Structure 1
Amino acid sequence: MALDDIPADPPVRYAEQALLGALILEPLRIKTLGPLGPEHFSVAMHGALFAAMSALTAPAPEVHAREPVWITALLAQARPHARGLTVSYLHTLADACPEPSHASAYAQMIVANRARLTIRAAAERLVQAATGPLLPDPAAHVLDSTDAVAAVLDDLGGLFPSHPGSLPRTVLPPPPSRDTGTGSDAAGEEQLLLSTVAARPGCLPEMRWLRPEDFTVPLHGVLYRCMASLAYRGDPIDAVTVLWEAQHHGLLASGVTAKDVLDLLATPAGSPEHWGEQILRRSLLHHAHTTGLHIHAYTDDLANTPHQLITGSRRALADLGAVRARWQHATRPPSAGPPRTKPAPASRAGPATPRVTPPAVSTRASR
């Protein structure tokens, strides 16, 4: 690797050096730093040195000015955990401190950087839960990871409370692609749902938890919207009436033929609720994946302050919360009452998310 290719030290590295240099020059300032621990440092040696500073009793200023007792004690305490630590490096740290009285500001920078990395790690776990090998209950795994992200944001919210004008300006990546191949399980299950609902449309009033945007194939989503429109108006539903409604939605003008629509609706099988849950589960995982990528993008943008990171992440979780509420409505036992929903984490960062009160669900037919 050429010298020009060596990456520059991140700004937090200089903040760590400045803070440690301040504490070498004026040890008693460690009492003014607030919630800071060795785990907040990005360099292991710096963390070990700060741990030594926290464990030792700082010398009186007059003693510190006359004798190197503080330097000697730090080396003895920290060297077992930082083998490369030398007297020379301690002097380098002292020279790196512009002003010891700014120690609290340097500490706040270090805490802010740690907060960014903590949010990023939580977002990565959410992405992994949404895209990793399917577990027996992938939706539950994703919801647990979502709750973990919310808990991290709540913990950090006490250190960095939101304030007006704290929305991030990061350009977010597009949503990840969805499996829309005609031979995929997703496309097949969506086709089975449409065929079965066309044959037994009485289930539609009880499946308002499913939305056209949950479908991976846009054509399937439009046909489901046509069925929902017919059901809303109280019109009869079968393959021919759905075809007629699809014409009014402009579907036949987009290259889809009448025979294509009728073929899609020709093979009913199984339970509409079962196929609907499969589609909604896939939509939940997709939205969780998107949310994790958006939060990760916020953490990659170093222009975002901790306030902006927390606010943007809460907004992203609120978008996922709408799909989560529909999933809980769809999967709760028939005898259970409406699910208890937690207040949306985003409510502290902007307008409150309206709560959707789901309709009562009647007992499903056994699958």
Structure 2
Amino acid sequence: MDPLLTGEQAVLGAVLLDPRQLDRLDWLEPRDFYRPAHQALFAALRALGGAGHPALAAEGTVPLSWLNDSLAEAGRHVRGLTASYPHALIAACPRPANAPLYGRMVLEGAIHRTVAEHAARLLAVADEGTRQHEADGTVAQADVLVGVLADLAWRWGAPPRPQAPAVPPAVVAAAAPTPGQIEDERFLLALLVHQDGAIGEVFGWLRPGDFADPGHGHLYRCLGALHHRGEPIDPATTLWEVQRRGLLADGTLTGERLSTVLGNGAAGSAEWLGEQLLRGSLNRTAAVAARQIAAHADDDRLAPGQLIGQALHVLGPVDQVRERWRTATSPPEPQPRPGADQAARVSAALARSPARATGRTMPGPASPKIPHVVTDPVIRTRPHRSPS
């Protein structure tokens, strides 16, 4: 027996037996049913109920016109419905009063199915973005999936918040890197080793996990450690850092792989190459998240609230890579003109100062009185004395 099919039949049979159950199922939509015939039949029942069918006011036995009219209305949109099928639905309903519970069974199946469909779309868009070397479609599809999860959470009555699973799920491996990706990563690493200051162009937003080859990611981590400590980066210091971290001893890196990076110089734009790697990392992270969400959606043991929360949790790494992608591709902010900050501070200070009254002097503290000295306007000169 299929529990989802049983739930769809039970809710339809409940409405056919008691049309007033539609008032308790206003949150259920025809698209929530899996079978097209059930979608058409539930849409017909809602349309007849909204038009005020006489069966809604009937007391006791439901008139036969309720079944016939619903069957005729549904037959306009889908084929294959026979006159006996409504009676089979009625027989499949244990108790009409349990219609809301049957409806939640249908909605739960619809949530699992909808999450799986959008996860498959995200996976397809991410794979196509990898082939076309673009990430805009992946970003847009990830936003669509987040919006769908929020809508499903609202319909189910649970807050749309990330929820880590109690038991860590099986790790979903990313697709194997292509030879072209390996070559691009090797070229970028050689550029960072041989070109002074090149790592400063990507250090703020490129991470070791963005490399498709784990060995390249470990090598980039060594370069980042040298840059963080303010030490020079060249083939000798890089080889020393690799040795200190034991990457040669444990087989993470080999001398042959290191020689392709440390032995050959490179010239180019580290920022441009880093953006290409970050674009691939975004598509790759989204593809891994889509596979994990699809695995959660196939797990019938997960309640809808758990499924939505775990799907949002899985999308967390995608959002982190996307934020770094925005940082890498956003244009630089314009620098303020010299003296602009000082002028702005003066204007703000004047705006905070109280307005001065015009035409009169503000009263101030009393000043001490100074005695007035009257002077004789006649200019007194010293008497002239003749010489004796």
For normalisation by structure 2, the TM-score amounts to 0.77
Change (3 A) 1:228 1:106: same
- Deviation of 1:37 after TM superposition, in Å, equals 2.1
Structure 1: which 5+ residue stretches go unaligned?
1-7, 338-367
What corresponds to 2:190 in structure 1? 195
Matched, 1:138 2:128: no
Distance 2:91 2:23 in 1: 21
Change (3 A) 1:167 1:108: farther
What corresponds to 2:65 in structure 1? 69
Distance 1:75 1:22 in 2: 15
Matched, 1:264 2:261: yes
Distance 2:167 2:300 in 1: 10
Matched, 1:34 2:63: no
Change (3 A) 1:130 1:68: same
- Deviation of 1:213 after TM superposition, in Å, equals 1.7
- Deviation of 1:78 after TM superposition, in Å, equals 2.5
Change (3 A) 1:30 1:190: same
Shifted more, 86-95 versus 26-35: the winner is 86-95
Distance 1:34 1:67 in 2: 22
What corresponds to 2:5 in structure 1? 13
Aligned pairs for 1:1-367 (under 5 A) are: 8=1, 10-56=2-48, 57-60=53-56, 62=58, 65=61, 67-132=63-128, 138-160=134-156, 161-162=158-159, 168=165, 172-180=169-177, 184-207=179-202, 208-255=204-251, 256=253, 258=255, 260-265=257-262, 266-335=264-333
Contact 2:45 2:70 in 1 (8 A): yes
Output the amino acid matched with 1:186. Answer: Q
Distance 2:319 2:162 in 1: 23
- Deviation of 1:62 after TM superposition, in Å, equals 4.3
- Deviation of 1:257 after TM superposition, in Å, equals 5.1
Larger Rg: 2
Contact 1:27 1:59 in 2 (8 A): yes
For normalisation by structure 1, the TM-score amounts to 0.82
Contact 2:163 2:312 in 1 (8 A): no
Change (3 A) 1:164 1:242: closer
Structure 2: which 5+ residue stretches go unaligned?
336-388
Contact 1:130 1:138 in 2 (8 A): no
Counting matched residue pairs gives: 327
Distance 2:332 2:79 in 1: 63
- Deviation of 1:66 after TM superposition, in Å, equals 7.0
Output the amino acid matched with 1:244. Answer: W
Change (3 A) 1:270 1:76: same
Distance 1:140 1:165 in 2: 24
Change (3 A) 1:330 1:83: closer
User: Runs of at least 4 residues of structure 1 off by over 6 A?
Assistant: 163-166
